[in-house]
Amino acid sequence: MRRTCLLYQGDRPIPYLTAWQWQKELVGERKQARREGKDLADVLLLMEHPAVYTLGQGSSLEFLKFNLDDPQIECHRIERGGEVTHHAIGQLIAYPILNLDHHQRDLHWYLRQLEEVIIQVLAKFGVPSQRIQGLTGVWIDNAGQVQKIAQVGIKVSQWITMHGFALNINMDLTGFNRIVPCGITDCQVCNLNQFVSNVDFVEVKKAIAQTFAETFNLEMQFITSLTTPDL
Protein backbone atom coordinates (compact mmCIF):
# COMPACT_ATOMS: atom_id res chain seq x y z
CA MET A 1 0.00 0.00 0.00
CA ARG A 2 1.26 3.44 -0.91
CA ARG A 3 1.81 5.94 1.87
CA THR A 4 -0.23 9.17 1.67
CA CYS A 5 1.57 12.40 0.79
CA LEU A 6 -0.24 15.73 1.00
CA LEU A 7 0.68 17.87 -2.00
CA TYR A 8 0.58 21.66 -1.74
CA GLN A 9 1.33 23.55 -4.94
CA GLY A 10 1.63 27.28 -4.52
CA ASP A 11 0.15 29.21 -7.46
CA ARG A 12 1.94 32.42 -6.53
CA PRO A 13 5.41 33.25 -5.18
CA ILE A 14 5.69 32.48 -1.47
CA PRO A 15 8.07 34.58 0.65
CA TYR A 16 11.00 32.46 1.78
CA LEU A 17 10.44 33.12 5.49
CA THR A 18 6.81 31.99 5.17
CA ALA A 19 7.78 28.69 3.56
CA TRP A 20 10.55 28.17 6.11
CA GLN A 21 8.08 28.64 8.96
CA TRP A 22 5.63 26.22 7.34
CA GLN A 23 8.33 23.58 7.15
CA LYS A 24 9.33 23.99 10.79
CA GLU A 25 5.71 23.72 11.89
CA LEU A 26 5.08 20.61 9.78
CA VAL A 27 8.22 18.94 11.12
CA GLY A 28 7.31 19.87 14.71
CA GLU A 29 3.81 18.46 14.32
CA ARG A 30 5.20 15.16 13.07
CA LYS A 31 7.65 14.89 15.94
CA GLN A 32 4.84 15.57 18.40
CA ALA A 33 2.58 13.02 16.72
CA ARG A 34 5.30 10.39 17.00
CA ARG A 35 5.61 11.05 20.74
CA GLU A 36 1.87 10.50 21.01
CA GLY A 37 2.02 7.24 19.08
CA LYS A 38 0.43 8.77 15.98
CA ASP A 39 1.59 9.00 12.39
CA LEU A 40 0.86 12.01 10.17
CA ALA A 41 1.01 11.88 6.39
CA ASP A 42 4.08 12.98 4.46
CA VAL A 43 3.92 16.39 2.75
CA LEU A 44 5.39 17.82 -0.45
CA LEU A 45 5.44 21.59 -0.92
CA LEU A 46 6.03 22.88 -4.48
CA MET A 47 6.47 26.63 -4.92
CA GLU A 48 8.46 29.61 -6.15
CA HIS A 49 10.17 32.29 -4.07
CA PRO A 50 10.91 35.95 -4.78
CA ALA A 51 14.66 36.56 -5.08
CA VAL A 52 16.50 35.36 -1.97
CA TYR A 53 19.84 33.82 -0.97
CA THR A 54 20.19 31.08 1.62
CA LEU A 55 23.26 29.88 3.47
CA GLY A 56 23.61 26.36 4.82
CA GLN A 57 24.23 26.04 8.55
CA GLY A 58 27.97 25.63 8.08
CA SER A 59 28.46 27.58 4.85
CA SER A 60 31.23 30.13 4.50
CA LEU A 61 30.70 33.84 3.93
CA GLU A 62 33.68 33.83 1.56
CA PHE A 63 31.33 32.59 -1.16
CA LEU A 64 29.25 35.78 -1.02
CA LYS A 65 30.01 38.65 -3.38
CA PHE A 66 27.69 41.08 -1.61
CA ASN A 67 27.49 42.74 1.77
CA LEU A 68 25.13 41.03 4.22
CA ASP A 69 24.08 44.48 5.42
CA ASP A 70 22.76 45.43 1.98
CA PRO A 71 19.02 46.11 2.55
CA GLN A 72 18.28 45.37 -1.11
CA ILE A 73 19.37 41.74 -0.79
CA GLU A 74 17.46 39.13 1.21
CA CYS A 75 19.69 36.45 2.71
CA HIS A 76 19.08 33.87 5.45
CA ARG A 77 21.22 31.26 7.19
CA ILE A 78 19.17 28.10 7.59
CA GLU A 79 19.46 24.52 8.93
CA ARG A 80 20.20 22.68 5.70
CA GLY A 81 23.56 21.37 4.65
CA GLY A 82 25.52 22.85 1.77
CA GLU A 83 26.81 26.27 0.81
CA VAL A 84 25.09 29.40 -0.45
CA THR A 85 22.46 29.24 -3.19
CA HIS A 86 19.97 31.51 -4.89
CA HIS A 87 16.20 31.26 -5.40
CA ALA A 88 14.03 33.43 -7.65
CA ILE A 89 10.87 33.41 -9.73
CA GLY A 90 11.09 30.77 -12.46
CA GLN A 91 12.81 28.24 -10.22
CA LEU A 92 10.70 25.38 -8.84
CA ILE A 93 11.34 24.63 -5.17
CA ALA A 94 10.39 21.28 -3.65
CA TYR A 95 10.22 20.84 0.12
CA PRO A 96 9.48 17.23 1.11
CA ILE A 97 8.46 16.64 4.72
CA LEU A 98 8.96 12.88 4.89
CA ASN A 99 9.16 10.50 7.81
CA LEU A 100 12.08 8.32 6.75
CA ASP A 101 10.95 5.68 9.25
CA HIS A 102 8.50 4.74 6.49
CA HIS A 103 11.03 4.97 3.67
CA GLN A 104 14.70 4.33 4.46
CA ARG A 105 16.84 5.62 7.32
CA ASP A 106 19.74 6.56 5.10
CA LEU A 107 20.63 10.17 4.29
CA HIS A 108 22.78 9.26 1.29
CA TRP A 109 19.95 7.16 -0.11
CA TYR A 110 17.54 10.05 0.41
CA LEU A 111 19.81 12.57 -1.36
CA ARG A 112 20.26 10.22 -4.30
CA GLN A 113 16.49 9.69 -4.49
CA LEU A 114 15.90 13.44 -4.68
CA GLU A 115 18.45 13.69 -7.47
CA GLU A 116 16.79 10.76 -9.21
CA VAL A 117 13.45 12.57 -9.22
CA ILE A 118 15.06 15.51 -11.03
CA ILE A 119 16.98 13.29 -13.45
CA GLN A 120 13.83 11.39 -14.40
CA VAL A 121 11.79 14.57 -14.84
CA LEU A 122 14.42 16.09 -17.11
CA ALA A 123 14.47 12.86 -19.12
CA LYS A 124 10.71 13.18 -19.63
CA PHE A 125 11.42 16.52 -21.30
CA GLY A 126 14.12 14.92 -23.45
CA VAL A 127 17.03 16.41 -21.51
CA PRO A 128 19.80 14.04 -20.34
CA SER A 129 21.38 14.95 -16.99
CA GLN A 130 23.81 13.48 -14.51
CA ARG A 131 25.25 13.41 -11.02
CA ILE A 132 28.85 14.33 -10.29
CA GLN A 133 30.72 12.11 -7.86
CA GLY A 134 31.22 13.77 -4.50
CA LEU A 135 28.76 16.61 -5.15
CA THR A 136 25.03 16.97 -4.60
CA GLY A 137 22.68 18.26 -7.26
CA VAL A 138 22.03 17.55 -10.93
CA TRP A 139 24.13 18.66 -13.88
CA ILE A 140 23.81 18.98 -17.65
CA ASP A 141 26.48 18.80 -20.33
CA ASN A 142 25.84 21.94 -22.36
CA ALA A 143 28.03 21.85 -25.47
CA GLY A 144 30.92 20.36 -23.56
CA GLN A 145 30.49 22.54 -20.48
CA VAL A 146 28.99 20.92 -17.39
CA GLN A 147 26.41 23.21 -15.81
CA LYS A 148 24.26 22.85 -12.72
CA ILE A 149 20.50 22.85 -13.24
CA ALA A 150 19.32 21.73 -9.80
CA GLN A 151 20.52 22.30 -6.24
CA VAL A 152 19.87 19.89 -3.37
CA GLY A 153 20.16 20.71 0.33
CA ILE A 154 18.38 18.98 3.21
CA LYS A 155 17.93 18.85 6.96
CA VAL A 156 16.86 15.64 8.69
CA SER A 157 15.92 15.62 12.38
CA GLN A 158 14.70 12.47 14.11
CA TRP A 159 14.41 11.04 10.58
CA ILE A 160 11.93 13.70 9.47
CA THR A 161 13.08 15.74 6.47
CA MET A 162 12.86 19.39 5.52
CA HIS A 163 14.30 21.68 2.84
CA GLY A 164 14.86 19.83 -0.44
CA PHE A 165 15.75 20.81 -4.00
CA ALA A 166 15.47 23.66 -6.49
CA LEU A 167 15.16 23.16 -10.25
CA ASN A 168 16.02 26.07 -12.54
CA ILE A 169 13.31 26.31 -15.20
CA ASN A 170 13.15 29.84 -16.61
CA MET A 171 14.60 32.03 -13.87
CA ASP A 172 16.87 35.05 -14.16
CA LEU A 173 20.27 33.44 -13.66
CA THR A 174 22.13 36.72 -13.13
CA GLY A 175 21.38 36.47 -9.40
CA PHE A 176 23.97 33.69 -9.22
CA ASN A 177 26.64 36.23 -10.20
CA ARG A 178 26.55 37.56 -6.63
CA ILE A 179 27.72 34.26 -5.14
CA VAL A 180 29.96 31.27 -5.72
CA PRO A 181 27.10 28.80 -6.28
CA CYS A 182 27.25 25.94 -3.79
CA GLY A 183 30.81 27.00 -3.00
CA ILE A 184 32.09 25.55 -6.28
CA THR A 185 34.57 27.80 -8.05
CA ASP A 186 33.68 28.42 -11.72
CA CYS A 187 30.36 26.65 -11.24
CA GLN A 188 28.09 27.46 -14.17
CA VAL A 189 24.30 27.27 -13.85
CA CYS A 190 21.61 26.78 -16.47
CA ASN A 191 17.85 26.75 -17.02
CA LEU A 192 15.63 24.05 -18.46
CA ASN A 193 14.30 26.50 -21.04
CA GLN A 194 17.77 26.60 -22.62
CA PHE A 195 17.15 23.02 -23.75
CA VAL A 196 13.35 22.92 -24.10
CA SER A 197 11.78 25.85 -25.93
CA ASN A 198 8.56 27.24 -24.45
CA VAL A 199 8.83 24.95 -21.44
CA ASP A 200 5.68 25.17 -19.32
CA PHE A 201 6.34 25.75 -15.60
CA VAL A 202 3.07 24.09 -14.60
CA GLU A 203 3.86 21.00 -16.67
CA VAL A 204 7.23 20.68 -14.97
CA LYS A 205 5.52 21.01 -11.59
CA LYS A 206 3.11 18.20 -12.53
CA ALA A 207 6.00 16.01 -13.66
CA ILE A 208 7.88 16.62 -10.41
CA ALA A 209 4.84 15.65 -8.31
CA GLN A 210 4.18 12.51 -10.35
CA THR A 211 7.80 11.38 -10.41
CA PHE A 212 8.25 12.12 -6.71
CA ALA A 213 5.23 9.93 -5.94
CA GLU A 214 6.59 7.10 -8.08
CA THR A 215 10.10 7.33 -6.64
CA PHE A 216 9.00 7.30 -3.01
CA ASN A 217 5.97 5.02 -3.51
CA LEU A 218 3.47 7.65 -2.40
CA GLU A 219 -0.19 8.37 -3.10
CA MET A 220 -0.59 12.09 -3.65
CA GLN A 221 -3.52 13.87 -2.06
CA PHE A 222 -3.95 17.44 -3.27
CA ILE A 223 -4.53 20.15 -0.68
CA THR A 224 -5.13 23.86 -1.21
CA SER A 225 -4.24 25.11 2.25
CA LEU A 226 -1.69 24.29 4.90
CA THR A 227 -4.33 24.85 7.57
CA THR A 228 -5.98 21.52 6.74
CA PRO A 229 -6.72 19.76 10.08
CA ASP A 230 -5.19 16.48 8.89
CA LEU A 231 -1.77 18.09 8.39
Catalytic residues: 182
Order of strands, edge to edge, in the sheet holding 75-77?
75-77, 52-55, 85-87
Task: Confirm if 95 and 19 have CB atoms less than 8 A apart.
Answer: yes
| Residue 78 burial class via C-beta count within 10 angstroms: exposed 0-12, middle 13-18, buried 19 and up | middle
For helices 107-124 and 201-215, angle between their N-to-C axes, nearest 10 degrees: 140
**Whole-angstrom distance, CA of residue 70 vs CA of residue 52:** 12
Task: Confirm if 170 and 191 have CB atoms less than 8 A apart.
Answer: yes
Contacts 24+ apart (CB under 8 A), 100-104: 100/156, 100/159, 100/160, 100/161, 101/159, 102/3, 102/39, 102/42, 103/216
Residue 231's SS3 state is coil
